[in-house]
Amino acid sequence: MAYAGKGDLQIYLDNAATTWPKPAVVRSAVQQAMTIYGANPGRSGHSMGLAASEEVFRCRETLSEFFHLENPVNVVFVQNCTMALNIVLKGLMKDGGRMVVSDLEHNAVMRPLHALSPDAPVYDIAVVTPGNIPATVAAFERCITPETRGIVCTHASNVFGVRLPIREIGAMAHRHGLPFIVDAAQSAGVLPIDMQQDNIDFLCIPGHKSLYGPMGIGALLCNSNHMLPSFIEGGTGSQSLELQQPDELPDRLESGTLNTVGICGLRAGVRFVRERGIDEIAGREIRLMRYFYDRVADMRGINLYTPRPDIQHAAPVVSLNMEGRRSEEVARALDQRGIYCRAGLHCAPSAHRHFGTLDTGTVRFAPSVFTTQNEIERVCRALWNEAHSRSSTGVG
């Protein structure tokens, strides 16, 4: 999406970090939350408090329907996807054990597991074979040991867009009696997710990415009989006479005042995605990235790391590098041309080890529902000009 910044038209392609702009309906919902739903949900019996509680529950219902979770009370609101992953991983491994992870994981998975045992890893790493479902599933299965407490993986790499076969991995996990946790940070809102069909026990989602909600709101959707221990304890507005945290969801995992403003914005974002149609959104964004990929693949000095994006095997994310230049340098040069993208390791060193880019990082481009063909064309010209100006001076 382009906007008028400091004199020139700017193009935003950092949507894998946070989508921008937010739809008008989301901005309106946030404003409405500050005026109509200003009271504390679940705490007060007056009309405004009840109205806030009802709106919060409507968002639980919206998320439950969107991701095919049977019971809306099993939707737990959290600060972000990272918090959801911490709650699940540390809860399932409270009494020890090991986790199976992929070699494309974000630090939102790897750092909580490292924190559980800094001196001796408590995870086994499955090597993903992009585009090969049987080989990838077999790699996960080989990692299972008697100490394994669950399998966790990203749905799609936030760096390279590689899509993992979560349905097949989940089915395999269940054959072994293991819970399956999905990090949907890069897929929720742009790739279809059905918690029942995809065999997902715990789905961790952010609100601020492809669901188009505000920052600071996420959710943990629980589709399992595994009772996670409370992550923090405090007021829930229920069973207040007891010092023990309530056992029931969502109260067991929701202490303190909720982010009602973020929740209202998230509900509006999900409804926006649903009305646009997730297949339409995914198809359009993949087409944009395929066009981008084809254009830059023909440019001298541009390195790509994955096959041409397709909807079966990829999310709409493309990473690249320019020969002889660090990714941060390229991103700064594009910024000066009015193009906003992200460079570096993207909080996912595991993925960079897989693709051999740990030393350089990558320059990442990710569209949103608002990105246009003309903007992608302009980015391609900017990349060509940057590469050409560099090579014409004999540098690199």
Q: Which amino acid is at 91?
A: G
CA-to-CA dists, residue 302 to 324, 352, 390, 391, angstroms:
10, 17, 12, 12
pLDDT at 352: 97
pLDDT higher than threshold 90 for residue 6: no
241 lies in the same domain as 361: no
Domain boundary among 276, 301, 331: 276
pLDDT higher than threshold 90 for residue 244: no
96 lies in the same domain as 117: yes
pLDDT band at 325 (very low <50, low <70, confident <90, very high): very high
* CATH code at position 45: 3.40.640.10
- Mean pLDDT in residue range 207-230: 96
367 lies in the same domain as 294: yes
* CATH code at position 356: 3.90.1150.10
Domain boundary among 228, 258, 276: 276
The verdict on residue 99 lying in a domain is yes
202 lies in the same domain as 83: yes
114 lies in the same domain as 260: yes
pLDDT higher than threshold 70 for residue 57: yes
Which pairs with CB-CB distance under 8 Å and at least 24 residues apart come from 128-131?
Answer: 128/102, 128/103, 128/104, 128/162, 128/164, 128/354, 130/162, 130/306, 130/307, 130/313, 131/307, 131/313
pLDDT at 8: 57
The verdict on residue 7 lying in a domain is no
pLDDT higher than threshold 50 for residue 395: no
The verdict on residue 9 lying in a domain is no
pLDDT tens figures, 84-134: 999 999 999 999 999 999 999 999 999 999 999 999 999 999 999 999 999
pLDDT higher than threshold 80 for residue 295: yes
The verdict on residue 11 lying in a domain is no
pLDDT at 1: 61
40 lies in the same domain as 100: yes
- Mean pLDDT in residue range 260-289: 98
251 lies in the same domain as 357: no
- Mean pLDDT in residue range 354-358: 96
Percent of the chain with pLDDT over 70: 96
The verdict on residue 1 lying in a domain is no
335 lies in the same domain as 265: no
The verdict on residue 14 lying in a domain is no
Q: Which structure tokens are listed for 162? A: 């590689």
245 lies in the same domain as 302: no
pLDDT higher than threshold 70 for residue 393: no
pLDDT higher than threshold 60 for residue 7: no
271 lies in the same domain as 323: no
The verdict on residue 2 lying in a domain is no
When divided into structural domains, the chain yields a total of 2
pLDDT higher than threshold 90 for residue 380: yes
Quote the mean pLDDT of the chain. Answer: 94
Q: Which domain holds residue 323?
A: 277-392
Q: How far apart are CA 346 and CA 252, in angstroms?
A: 32
- Mean pLDDT in residue range 28-42: 91
pLDDT tens figures, 298-317: 999 999 999 999 999 999 99
* Residue owning tokens 């996912």: 348
The verdict on residue 257 lying in a domain is yes
Q: Could you tell me which residue, 235 or 104, shows the higher pLDDT? A: 104
Domain boundary among 228, 255, 276: 276
Residues in the chain: 396
299 lies in the same domain as 323: yes
226 lies in the same domain as 300: no
pLDDT at 60: 98
